[in-house]
Structure 1
Amino acid sequence: MIRIEAGAFQMGQEQGGDFDERPVHKVTISRPFHLSATEVTNAQYEQYDPKHKALRGKNGFSKDDDEAVVFVSWEEAAEFCRWLARKEGKPYRLPSEAEWEYACRAGTTTPYHAGDKLPKEFHKNVKNSWFPSRGDEGDVLPLHVGRTPPNAWGLLDMHGNVEEWCADWYGPYPRGDQIDPAGRAEGDFRVTRGGSHSTLLEYLRSANRSGTLPLDKHWLIGFRVACGDPPKTPPLPPVPPRRWARDVRQEKTDWSAGPDMSKPYFEGPIQYVKIPPGSEGPLFSRHNHCPAVVACPNGDMLAIWYTCRTEPGRELGIAASRLRRGATEWEPAEPFWDAPDRNDHASALFLDDDGTIFHFNGLGAGGTWGALATVMRTSRDSGATWSRARLIMPEHGLHHMPIESVIKTRRGRLIVPCDAVPGGSGGSAVLVSDDGGKTWADPAEGKPIPDFSSGKSGAVMAGIHAALVELKDGRLLASGRGNSIDGKMPMSLSADGGCTWAYKASPFPPIGGGQRLVLTRLAEGPIFFASFGKSVEFTDSSGKTHKGSGLFAALSDDEGETWQVRRLITAGGPPRRVDGGGNTGPFTMSDMSAEPRGYMSIHQTPDRVIHLISSKQQYRFNLAWLRQAPPPRADAAASQERPADASAGAKPLPAKKDLTVVYRADQAPTKTRLAWRFSGSGTTEDKAVRLEGGRLTVTTGPGQRVRWIDDRADSFGSAKADKGHTVEIVLRVSRSTSQTRGVDLETVVAGPDGPRRSMITVTTNAVLWLDKKFAPLATGLDNGSADHVYRLAVDATGRAWVYRDGKLLGVRWAAATRDPLAQAGQTYIQWGEGAGGSEADFGIGSIAWDLSGAYRPAD
Structure 2
Amino acid sequence: MFYRVNLFAFIFVQVACGNVDLSAEESKSTTNSLGMTIVRVSQGEFEMGMLDEHRLKLEHKASAYQREIHDYVEKPAFPVRLSQDYGIGETEVTVSQFREFVQATGYQTDAEKAGEAWVFQPDAENPLDRFSLVKDTSWRNPGFQQSDTHPVTCISWQDAQAFCQWLSKKEGATYRLPTEAEWEYACRAGTRSSYFSGEKPDSVYAVGNVADASLYARHPEDVLRQRVVGLEATDGDGFVFTSPVKSFKSNAWGVYDTHGNVWEWCHDKYSDRYYDDMLTKARKMGSRTKPEPIVDPQGPDNTPKHEHGDWRSMRGGSWYVAPLQCRSSIRAFAEAHDAFSYIGFRVVREMK
Taking structure 2 as the reference length, what is the TM-score of the superposition? 0.59
Pairing partner for 2:178 from 95, 100, 105: 95
Q: Which residue of 2 aligns with 1:577?
A: none
Given candidates 60, 72, 76, the residue that maps to 2:159 is 76
C-alpha spacing 1:215/1:149, structure 2 compared with 1 (3 Å): same
CA-to-aligned-CA distance 1:581-606 (integer Å, 9 cap, x gap): xxxxxxxxxxxxxxxxxxxxxxxxxx
2:170 is the counterpart of 1:48: no
The CA distance in 2 between the partners of 1:28 and 1:212, in whole Å, is 26
Shift of 1:120: 2.1
Of 97, 101, 120, 2:205 maps to 120
Report 1 or 2 for greater relative contact order, CA contacts < 8 Å, sequence distance ≥ 6: 2
Q: Which amino acid is the alignment partner of residue 21 of structure 1?
A: E
Contact 1:112 1:205 in 2 (8 A): yes
1:541-591: CA deviation from partner (whole Å, max 9, x where unpaired): xxxxxxxxxxxxxxxxxxxxxxxxxxxxxxxxxxxxxxxxxxxxxxxxxxx
Cα separation, 1, equivalents of 2:298 and 2:150:
29
Query: Aligned-pair distance for 1:22?
Result: 1.3
SS at match of 1:119: helix
Give the deviation of 1:21 after TM superposition.
Answer: 1.2
> 1:162 is aligned with what amino acid?
V
Cross-structure match for 2:297? 181
Corresponding position of 2:246:
146
Match of 1:32 in 2: 85
Match of 1:211 among 333, 342, 345: 333
Match 2:190 to one of 107, 111, 114: 107
Distance in 1, Cα, partners of 2:167 & 2:297: 24
Q: Tell me how far 1:84 sits from its aligned partner.
A: 0.3
**CA pair 57-107 structure 1, distance change in 2 beyond 3 A:** same
CA distance in structure 1 between the aligned counterparts of 2:270 and 2:340, rounded to whole angstroms:
19
Judge conservation of contact 1:139–1:198 (CA < 8 Å) in 2. Answer: no
SS for the counterpart of 2:245 is coil
Describe the superposition over 1:761-782 as per-residue Cα deviations: whole angstroms up to 9, x where unpaired: xxxxxxxxxxxxxxxxxxxxxx
Amino acid at match of 2:195: Y
**Contact 1:12 1:23 (8 Å CA) reproduced:** yes
Q: 2:7 aligns to what? A: none
1:635-656 deviation digits (Å, cap 9, x = unpaired): xxxxxxxxxxxxxxxxxxxxxx
CA distance in 2 between counterparts of 1:31 and 1:139 reads: 37
Distance change (3 Å), C-alpha of 1:115 and 1:139: closer
The whole-number CA distance in structure 2 between the counterparts of 1:75 and 1:22 is: 28
Q: Deviations over 1:731-766 (max 9, x none)?
A: xxxxxxxxxxxxxxxxxxxxxxxxxxxxxxxxxxxx
| Structure 2 letter corresponding to 1:30 | S
For 1:80 and 1:229, how far apart are their aligned partners in 2?
A: 19
The residue identity in structure 2 corresponding to 1:104 is C
CA distance in 2, matches of 1:25, 1:114: 22
Q: Distance in 2 between matches of 1:123 and 1:39?
A: 13
**2:210 and 2:261 in contact (8 A); partners too:** yes
Match of 2:143 in 1: 59
Offset at 1:229? Answer: 6.5
Cα offset for 1:197?
A: 0.7
3-state SS of 2:161 partner: helix
1:167 alignment counterpart: 267
Which amino acid counterpart does residue 223 of structure 1 have in structure 2?
A: F
Partner of 2:321: 199
- What aligned pairs does 1:609-620 form with structure 2 within 5 A after superposition? none
- The reply on whether 1:18 has 2:71 as its aligned counterpart is yes
In structure 2, how many angstroms separate the alpha carbons of the residues matched to 1:92 and 1:75?
A: 14
Instruction: Work out whether residues 60 and 140 of structure 1, in 8 Å CA contact, stay in contact via their aligned partners in 2.
Output: no
Question: Is the 1:18–1:208 Cα contact (8 Å) retained in structure 2?
Answer: no
CA contact (8 A) 2:211 2:323 kept: no
Aligned length: 227
1:241-640 matches, within 5 Å, as none
Distance 1:142 1:103, change over 3 A: closer
**59 and 140 in structure 1: CA distance in 2 versus 1, 3 angstrom threshold:** farther
Please state which structure has a larger fraction of its residues in strand. Answer: 1
Is 1:8 the counterpart of 2:32? The answer is: no
3-state SS of the aligned residue for 1:60?
Answer: coil
Are residues 21 and 142 of structure 1, via their aligned partners in 2, closer, same or farther at CA, if it must alter by over 3 Å?
Answer: closer
Structure-2 separation of matches of 1:142 and 1:148? 12
Q: Tell me how far 1:158 sits from its aligned partner.
A: 0.8
Q: Compared with structure 1, are the counterparts of its residues 41 and 13 closer, same or farther at alpha carbon in structure 2 (3 Å cutoff)?
A: same
Contact 1:159 1:204 in 2 (8 A): yes
- Matched to 1:181, the amino acid is P
In structure 2, what is the Cα distance between the partners aligned to 1:142 and 1:101?
A: 21
Residues 599-748 of structure 1 aligned to structure 2 (within 5 Å):
none
Whole-angstrom CA distance in 2 between matches of 1:214 and 1:22: 24
Larger radius of gyration: 1
TM-score of the pair, normalised by structure 1: 0.25
Corresponding letter in the other structure for 1:178: I
Mark the CA change 1:135 to 1:201 in structure 2 (over 3 Å): closer, same or farther.
closer
- Kindly provide the amino acid, as one letter, of the partner of residue 72 in structure 2: F
Over the matched positions of the two proteins, sequence identity in percent amounts to: 36
**3-state SS of the aligned residue for 2:143?**
helix
2:210 partner letter:
K
Alpha-carbon separation, structure 1, partners of 2:242 and 2:331: 24
After superposition, give the CA deviation of every residue in 1:89-134 in whole Å (9 maximum; x if it has no partner).
10000000100001111110000011112332225323999x99x8
2 CA distance for matches of 1:57 and 1:135?
22
3-state SS of paired residue (1:58)? coil
Aligned-partner Cα distance in 1 for 2:268–2:43: 20
Instruction: Tell me the residue number matched to 2:255.
Output: 155
Shift of 1:203: 1.3
Q: CA deviation at 1:60?
A: 1.0
What residue is the counterpart of 1:390 in the other structure?
Answer: none
- Alpha-carbon displacement from aligned partner over 1:238-286 (angstroms, at most 9, x marks no partner): xxxxxxxxxxxxxxxxxxxxxxxxxxxxxxxxxxxxxxxxxxxxxxxxx
Aligned-residue CA RMSD in angstroms?
Answer: 2.8
Inter-CA distance 155–19: structure 2 relative to 1 (3 Å threshold): same
Measure the CA separation in 1 of the matches of 2:50 and 2:325.
12
* Higher percent of residues as helix: 2
1:169 touches 1:183 (CA, 8 Å); kept in 2?
yes
Task: Name the SS for the 1:13 alignment partner.
Answer: coil
Cα deviation, residue 65, structure 1? 0.5
- Amino acid in structure 1 at the alignment position of 2:168: A
CA distance in 2, matches of 1:40, 1:80: 10
Residue 148 of structure 1: CA displacement?
A: 1.1
Distance 2:182 2:191 in 1: 14
Cα deviation, 1:312-360, whole Å, max 9, x if unaligned, reads: xxxxxxxxxxxxxxxxxxxxxxxxxxxxxxxxxxxxxxxxxxxxxxxxx
Cα gap change, 1:182 to 1:124, in 2 (>3 Å) = closer
In 1, distance between residues paired with 2:95 and 2:141? 11
- 1:140 Cα deviation (Å)? 4.5
Q: Give the distance between the partners of 1:226 and 1:5, measured in 2 at CA.
A: 13
For structure 1, the residue ranges without an aligned partner over 5 or more in a row are 231-859
Q: In the superposition, relative to structure 1, how do residues 32 and 139 fare at CA in structure 2: closer, same or farther (>3 Å)?
A: closer
Unaligned runs of 5+ in 2: 1-37, 56-69, 113-137, 224-237, 283-292
Shift of 1:139: 8.6
